[in-house]
Amino acid sequence: MSRQIILNAFDMNCVTHIVAGTWRHPQSQAVRYKDIEYWTDLAKVLERGLFDGLFIADVLGIYDVYAQGPEAALRAGAQVPVNDPMLVVSAMAAVTEHLGFGVTAATSFEHPYSFARRMSTLDHLTKGRVGWNIVTGYLESAARNHGLDTITPHADRYDIADEYTEVLYKLWEGSWEDDAVGTDPTRTEYADPAKVHPIGHEGRHFRVPGIHLCEPSLQRTPVLYQAGASTRGRQFGAENAEVIFIGAPTKDILREAVADIRARAAAAGRDPYDVKIVNSHVIVTGATETAAQARYDEFRSYTDPQGALALWSGWLGTDLSRFELDAPVEVTDNEFLKSSVEMFGQGQWTLRDFIDAHAINVDGAMSVGGPSQVADELQEWVAETDVDGFNLTNVITPGTFVDIADHVIPELQRRGVYKTEYTEGTLRHKLFGRGPRLPESHRAADYRHVTQEVSR
């Protein structure tokens, strides 16, 4: 069987996730993000298209770096207002059978004890279809509104994340033995206390002496996603993540990133292919190339440069309002501008040029074309970079995903590189084909000994 491509749909509980302005497109349903029917409709579209999962981004702050205030972000609806991503999952789970749900949550703002329960609850409710995108939180405004003077420094955030995940692994993997809860319907006791173990965690940042509040869910630990691009972030991902998101604009950049992550995973004692790597990709498609190009032009007419500047300023932590829009800019000190040059070539760029070039293809790669052209391109990305699949940014929602389901996925299926039906079982089993639990080579498996030590 040919290598199968992974396709994740990427969305957020707000009107503008990545592409600013297109919520105003007449077909966009983004303003319905507050309605439960938006989410149940979206889930049904994705399951019909056999998408692997819906991945919901999140921030717990606002984009107030641009012009040192939230005004531009509010006007553009740029990730503000933003509702909680976890709370829409159960409604979607009730109307689907196979779709995976990745929810983003930071290790900085909630105690791991209650967070562990939230994820176990979702894993129970979805029957093992939930994933967790581990982020450390990058917005200063999020830290300030949680009572901190400023955001914790980057390296410290990852040290905290190391211990945070350790607490979670102990709770999820080590606290309850598989048969702690009986299954005999005539039993008189619900759980066997001899098989439920306090984790006794005493660390630098957290102290959790007790047992996990939840009985084991199908996956125990949810499927672990991560997107850290820094060296420290990539190291954390290689040690923990089962799916890593990259936003690489060129095949050269992606190939190098993929190789680096697989090498780090191997160095951490894991099979390099136990980490699935997916790259951000925008697909604008239609029945024909002409239709796709027309759709692209139409999308372009709705983009919003001010909203884009608000988002980019937040992502980069740099107030882009200090650049003149039409003056040439130095690219050497700016990751965003540097990556644009790698995409579009050297030249006399202005900030307006960059924003314009990134209007639709914000953070990653893009394919505009009919079914066979897009399929060709996706296959080339896989063949030339060793990437496992794509995290599909929406330009309009759910329209982008409808287009992909209608045009691209059938073409990939014809070529034998995309599943024609879901595998039964949990999200982890669908991705790796080895059952619901993390493999023994994963860091979390170390904490399974909690059970044995205490019970013997």
Q: Does 193 bind a second copy (CB under 8 A)?
A: yes
Q: How far apart are CA 392 and CA 390, in angstroms?
A: 6
Considering the complex, state which of residue 209 and residue 345 has its C-beta at the smaller distance from a second copy.
Answer: 209
Q: Minimum Å distance from CB 250 to a second copy? A: 33
Residue 455 makes contact with a second copy by CB under 8 A: no
Decide: is 81 part of the binding site for a second copy (CB under 8 A): yes
The number of C-alpha atoms within 13 Å of 245 and in the hemisphere containing its C-beta is 26
Distance of CA 354 to the CA centre of its chain: 25
Interaction between residue 332 and a second copy (CB under 8 A): no
What residue spans of 135-243 are helical by DSSP H? 140-145, 154-169, 231-240
Q: Please name the residues in contact with 255: beta carbons below 8 A apart, sequence gap of 6 or more.
A: 384, 385, 386
Indicate the residue among 78 and 408 with the shorter CB distance to a second copy. Answer: 78
Residue ranges of the binding site for FMN:
58, 104, 154, 158, 230
Task: Return the residues of window 83-142 that contact a second copy according to CB under 8 A.
Answer: 83-84, 86-91, 93-95, 109-111, 113-114, 117-118, 120-122, 124-127, 141
The yes or no reply on residue 24 touching a second copy (CB under 8 A) is: yes
Closest to a second copy by CB, 87 or 155: 87
The letter for the amino acid at 115 is F
Shortest CB 371 distance to a second copy, Å: 32
29 counts as binding a second copy under rule CB under 8 A: no
Of 71 and 453, the one with the shorter C-beta distance to a second copy is 71
Near a second copy in 149-188, by CB under 8 A:
176, 181, 187-188
By CB under 8 A, what part of segment 258-287 binds a second copy? none
Residues 216-245, mask of contacts with a second copy (x by CB under 8 A): -x----------------------------
User: Helices 251-267 and 371-385: crossing angle, nearest 10°?
Assistant: 40
Q: What whole-number distance in Å separates Cα of residue 324 and Cα of residue 333?
A: 16
250-288 b/e with 16+ CB inside 10 Å = b? ebebbbebbeebbebbeebebebebbbbbbbbbbbbbee
- Residue among 5, 53, 54, 61 that touches a second copy (CB under 8 A): 61
One residue of 2, 3, 27, 36 binding a second copy per CB under 8 A = 36
Answer yes or no: are the C-beta atoms of 182 and 189 closer than 8 Å.
yes
Q: Are 285 and 298 a contacting pair, CB within 8 Å?
A: no
Stretch that binds a second copy, among 145-153, 273-281, 359-367, 416-424 (CB under 8 A): 145-153
Binder among 144, 232, 251, 300 for a second copy (CB under 8 A): 144
Minimum CB–partner distance for residue 401 and a second copy (Å): 20
Which of 9, 56, 57, 76 lies at the binding interface for a second copy (CB under 8 A)?
76
CA angle in degrees (0–180, nearest 5) for 410-43-112: 125
Q: What angle do CA 319, 158, 151 make, to 5 degrees?
A: 40
65 binds a second copy (CB under 8 A): no
Total site size for a second copy, rule CB under 8 A: 76
Instruction: Please state, in angstroms and as integers, the Cα–Cα distance from residue 455 to each residue in 171, 173, 302, following that order.
Output: 15, 14, 62
CB of 211 to a second copy, least distance (A): 6
Nearer to a second copy, 208 or 431 (CB): 208
The distance of Cα 330 from the centroid of its chain, to the nearest Å, equals 31
List the one residue from 44, 48, 74, 386 that touches a second copy (CB under 8 A): 74
For β-strands 276-285 and 223-226, DSSP reports them as unpaired
Tell me how long the chain is. Answer: 456
